[in-house]
Homo-oligomer: A and B are copies of this chain.
Amino acid sequence: MQVSSRLGQVPASPIRKLVPLAQVAKAQGKQVYHLNIGDPDIQTPYVILDRLRAYEQNPVGYAHSQGEAGLLEALVGYYRGLGYDFIDKSMVQVTQGGSEALMMALFAVAEAGDEILVPEPFFTGYASIAPLFDITLVPIPLSIDTGFHLPDQQVIEDLITERTKAILYCSPNNPTGTVFDRQEIELLVRLARERNLFLIADEVYREFVFDGREQLSLLDYMRDLPDRIVVLDSLSKRYSVPGFRLGMMVSMNQELMAGVLRMAMGRLSAATVDQVAASALNRVGKEEIWAVRDIYQKRRDVVFDALSGVDGVTIQRPEGAFYAVAGLPHEAEAFCAWLLTDFHDNNETVMLAPMPGFYATPGKGTHEVRIAYVLEVPKLQRAMEILAKAISAFT
* A111, CB-defined interface residue at 8 Å: yes
List of B residues within 8 angstroms of A44 by Cβ: 58-60
List of B residues within 8 angstroms of A103 by Cβ: 267
> Would you list which residues of chain A between 58 and 111 have a CB under 8 Å from chain B?
58-63, 65, 96-97, 99-100, 103, 107-111
Query: Considering the chains assembled together, what is the distance between the CA atoms of A134 and B113 in angstroms?
Result: 12
Return the chain B residue nearest A110 by Cβ: B4
> Would you list which residues of chain A between 13 and 42 have a CB under 8 Å from chain B?
13, 16, 37, 39-42
A296–chain B nearest beta-carbon distance, Å: 14
The answer to whether A7 touches B242, judged by C-beta atoms less than 8 angstroms apart, is no
A270–chain B nearest beta-carbon distance, Å: 7
Contact of A7 with B256 at beta-carbon distance under 8 Å, contacts A61-B242, A245-B271 already known: yes
Query: Considering the chains assembled together, what is the distance between the CA atoms of A135 and B125 in angstroms?
Result: 23
Contact of A6 with B40 at beta-carbon distance under 8 Å, contacts A125-B266, A245-B96, A271-B271 already known: no
Contact of A128 with B263 at beta-carbon distance under 8 Å, contacts A4-B111, A58-B43, A245-B270 already known: yes
Query: Considering the chains assembled together, what is the distance between the CA atoms of A42 and B7 in angstroms?
Result: 38
List of B residues within 8 angstroms of A274 by Cβ: 271, 273-274
Query: Considering the chains assembled together, what is the distance between the CA atoms of A260 and B112 in angstroms?
Result: 21
The answer to whether A6 touches B111, judged by C-beta atoms less than 8 angstroms apart, is yes
Q: Indicate the size class of the contact surface on chain A.
A: 35 or more
The answer to whether B112 touches A259, judged by C-beta atoms less than 8 angstroms apart, is no
Contact check: which of B111, B125, B240, B265 meets A5 at CB < 8 Å? B111
* A212, CB-defined interface residue at 8 Å: no
Contact of A265 with B100 at beta-carbon distance under 8 Å, contacts A8-B259, A55-B53, A62-B242 already known: no
Query: Considering the chains assembled together, what is the distance between the CA atoms of A244 and B6 in angstroms?
Result: 29
Return the chain B residue nearest A227 by Cβ: B1
> Would you list which residues of chain A between 284 and 305 have a CB under 8 Å from chain B?
none
Query: Considering the chains assembled together, what is the distance between the CA atoms of A129 and B52 in angstroms?
Result: 31
The answer to whether A10 touches B129, judged by C-beta atoms less than 8 angstroms apart, is no
Contact check: which of B111, B227, B243 meets A60 at CB < 8 Å? B243
List of B residues within 8 angstroms of A65 by Cβ: 13, 16
Query: Considering the chains assembled together, what is the distance between the CA atoms of A284 and B222 in angstroms?
Result: 50
Contact of A97 with B61 at beta-carbon distance under 8 Å, contacts A12-B262, A55-B53, A253-B3 already known: no
Query: Considering the chains assembled together, what is the distance between the CA atoms of A16 and B265 in angstroms?
Result: 8
The answer to whether B59 touches A108, judged by C-beta atoms less than 8 angstroms apart, is no
Return the chain B residue nearest A129 by Cβ: B266
A249–chain B nearest beta-carbon distance, Å: 13
The answer to whether B3 touches A255, judged by C-beta atoms less than 8 angstroms apart, is yes
> Would you list which residues of chain A between 228 and 254 have a CB under 8 Å from chain B?
228, 240-245, 253
* A133, CB-defined interface residue at 8 Å: yes
Query: Considering the chains assembled together, what is the distance between the CA atoms of A123 and B79 in angstroms?
Result: 37
* A268, CB-defined interface residue at 8 Å: yes
Query: Considering the chains assembled together, what is the distance between the CA atoms of A2 and B241 in angstroms?
Result: 34
Supply 7 further A-B pairs (C-beta < 8 A) apart from A99-B268, A133-B133: A4-B111, A4-B114, A43-B58, A44-B58, A53-B54, A63-B243, A112-B134
Binding site for B on A (CB under 8 A): 1, 3-8, 10-13, 16, 37, 39-44, 49, 52-55, 57-63, 65, 96-97, 99-100, 103, 107-112, 114, 125, 128-129, 132-134, 165, 196, 198, 227-228, 240-245, 253, 255-256, 259-260, 262-263, 265-274, 277
Residue pairs across A and B with Cβ atoms less than 8 A apart, 11 shown, are A4-B109, A6-B112, A7-B260, A44-B60, A52-B55, A60-B241, A60-B243, A112-B134, A129-B266, A243-B273, A271-B274
Give me the 7 closest cross-chain CB pairs, A-B, nearest first: A128-B266, A243-B272, A13-B265, A60-B243, A7-B259, A1-B227, A59-B240
